[in-house]
Amino acid sequence: MHAFASPTPDATPVWLVSPDNWEGVKTSIGAAATAFAERCGFKPKAGRIQLLPGEGGALAGALFGVDGESAPTRDPFAAGKLATSLPEGVYRFANPPHDADLAALGFLLALYRYNRFKSDSAPKPRLVAPDGVDKDRLERIAAAVAFGRDLVNAPANALGPHALEQEAVKLAEQFDASVSMVRGEELLGANFPLIHAVGRAAAEEPRIVDFSWGREDAPKVALIGKGVTFDTGGLDIKPASGMELMKKDMGGAATALTLARLVMQEGLDLRLRVVIPIVENAISAPAMRPGDVLISRKGLSVEVGNTDAEGRLILADALALADEEAPELMLDFATLTGAARVALGPDLPPFYTDDETLAGSIGAHAARVRDPLWRLPLWRPYEAMIEGTVGDISNSGSGGGMAGSITAALFLRRFVDKAKAWAHFDVYAWNPKPRAHGPAGGEIQAARALFELLSERYPRR
C-alpha cells in the first residue's frame, strides 16, 4: 500500500496543469482531447481532475489542476488527491511536479486507510515514482507514517497499555534494540511514582518501555512520547465531547515510535534511546485525586491540581529517567494540551526549546519537508502559574487556563537539566478533515521534520 508501481510503458499519463502551462499541455494532448476537456468545463484550477477518453473505452490520460508557482496557497502534497480520485490503474506524471519528492510522498501518504476493522477495501490507483526521487526512501517514510497512524487510529479497546507496550517492543526487536519494561507495582520500586499514580486506576497496569539502539559510543539522542491509551480525565472527568477522541492520547508515543523507526530503518549514526510511559487515565477507587501530592522520580513534589493534566505527570518521570544519562539531544512528543489547538489549530503544532540553534534548525527542516511546526516561548514569568500551594509545583497551573500549552511546557522543563538540548512538541496527532496527503483521523506530526534534522546531524556511516 505504501509502494510505487514498477515503471511500465502503459502507465496512464497525468498532466499537472496550472494557468502557467495550460497552453503547452493543450499542445501535448492534442486538439480533440483539449476540446473534450473544455466541453466538460475543465479549467486549470487547483484540485480539478479531468479524465481523457481513449479508443474503445480506454483511459488515455488525466488532467490535474495545480496552483501556479506564485500561488500563496500552493500545496506541494496536492497530488495526494489523485490517490483518492483516480480510477484503479497505474499512472505516471506526464510533466514533472514542482517538488517531485513531496508530490510523490503526498501520493503514498494519501493511499493510507485504517482498515483493520473494515471488511472491504477499495482498489487503489498506483503511481510510477517520478524521475529523480529516492523511491525506496519515500516508501520507507510512508510505511513509517502508516505505522504511526495505525497506532493513533486503533481504538482504546484494541490498543490498551499492554498492546501499546507490545507494539513498542515489537518495533525495538525488529531492529535488535535492547528493551526493558517496568509494570504495575514494580513502578514504585523502580522509582516511577507519577506513572504509577496516573495509571493505577485502570484495568491494565501502567508501565514504561525503554529501548536503546545503535553504536554505544555514538552521540545520545532520547525520544520520549506520551502514551495515554485513553484519557477520561480521571476524577476531573471530561465531558463527552472532550472524551470523544481520547483514544489518540497516545499520539506522542506514536510520534516517538515513528521517528525511532525512521532513524533505525535509515541506520543513522546515533545512540537512540526511546522512553514511552504508558497508562490509561481511568476512574476507579485507587484513582489519584485532585489535591493529592506526589513525589516524583526527580524528587520534586507535584500537587495534582487537575487529574486531567495527566500527560505532564507521566512525562515528568520519563523525562527525568532519560535526562539521567545527559543525552546530547532530548525530544518529547505529547498530545498535551487543548490550549495548543486553541492557539495554533490542528495542523501547526507548537514546539518549545531554550536552544536557539536547535529552534532555528527545527523550523528550517519543518518548512523544508512541509511538516509544519511553530515555536512558542518557555516564558519564565509564567513559572508563577505552576507554583504549588502545598507541593513544589502544580500540574494544572493557576492561570485559569491561560497560556495552557506554555505552562505545560514549563512544567516539563523542571524535569530536564542534564540534557545538552531539549525540545518539547505539543502535537495534535489528528486530522479533523481529510487533507490531500491523508484521510481524516490519526496523523503523525513532527516526525518527518525531525527525521530530516537527525539525518543531517547524524548521517549513516
Q: Catalytic residue positions?
A: 238, 312
CB of 277 to Zn ion, least distance (A): 12
Per CB under 6 A, 206 contacts ligand BES: no
The residues that bridge with 10 in the sheet, in sequence order, are none
Number of alpha carbons in the 13 Å side-chain half-sphere of residue 301: 9
Site for ligand BES in 43-82 (CB under 6 A): none
Per CB under 6 A, 308 contacts ligand BES: yes
- Through-space distance between the first and last CA atoms of the chain, rounded to whole angstroms: 30
The rounded distance, in Å, linking the Cα atoms of 377 and 352 is: 6
Instruction: Report helix, strand or coil for 272.
Output: strand
DSSP string, 35-100: HHHHHTT--S-TT-EEEEE-GGG-EEEEEEE---TT-TT--TTTTHHHHHHSPSEEEEESS--SSH
Task: Map grid coordinates 504509577 to a residue.
Answer: 196
Residue of 106, 311, 327, 439 that binds Zn ion (CB under 5 A): 311
CB of 197 to ligand BES, least distance (A): 14
CB of 339 to ligand BES, least distance (A): 5
Q: If you compute the radius of gyration of the chain from its CA atoms, what whole number of angstroms results? A: 24
The rounded distance, in Å, linking the Cα atoms of 297 and 392 is: 13
What's the CA dihedral at 344, 350, 354, 356 to 10 degrees? -90
Question: Toward ligand BES, which CB reaches closer, 34 or 396?
Answer: 396
CB of 457 to ligand BES, least distance (A): 30
Contact between 391 and 301 (Cβ < 8 Å): yes
Task: Give the one entry of Zn ion, ligand BES, none that residue 209 binds, where binding means its C-beta sits below a cut-off of 5 to 8 angstroms depending on kind.
Answer: none
Residue of 75, 101, 205, 249 that binds Zn ion (CB under 5 A): 249
Site for ligand BES in 370-399 (CB under 6 A): 396-397
The rounded distance, in Å, linking the Cα atoms of 413 and 354 is: 10
Tally the residues of the chain.
461
Contact between 227 and 276 (Cβ < 8 Å): yes
Residue of 65, 234, 252, 311 that binds ligand BES (CB under 6 A): 311
Site for ligand BES in 268-307 (CB under 6 A): 306
- Applying CB under 5 A, which part among 48-56, 247-255, 271-279, 445-453 lies near Zn ion? 247-255
Per CB under 6 A, 335 contacts ligand BES: yes
- The amino acid that residue 441 corresponds to is G
Closest CA to 199 of 183, 179, 181: 183
- Applying CB under 5 A, which part among 38-46, 189-197, 221-229, 315-323 lies near Zn ion? 221-229
Number of alpha carbons in the 13 Å side-chain half-sphere of residue 351: 29
Strands 301-303 and 293-295: antiparallel
Site for ligand BES in 340-369 (CB under 6 A): 341
The residues that bridge with 127 in the sheet, in sequence order, are 91
**Total residues in contact with ligand BES, by rule CB under 6 A:** 17
- Applying CB under 6 A, which part among 60-68, 118-126, 293-301, 336-344 lies near ligand BES? 336-344
Per CB under 5 A, 277 contacts Zn ion: no
Q: Binding marks (x or -) toward ligand BES, 220..259, rule CB under 6 A?
A: -----------x-----------------x----------
Per CB under 5 A, 231 contacts Zn ion: yes
Give the binding site for ligand BES (CB under 6 A).
231, 249, 306, 308-311, 335-339, 341, 396-397, 404, 428
Give the binding site for Zn ion (CB under 5 A).
228, 231, 249, 308, 310-311
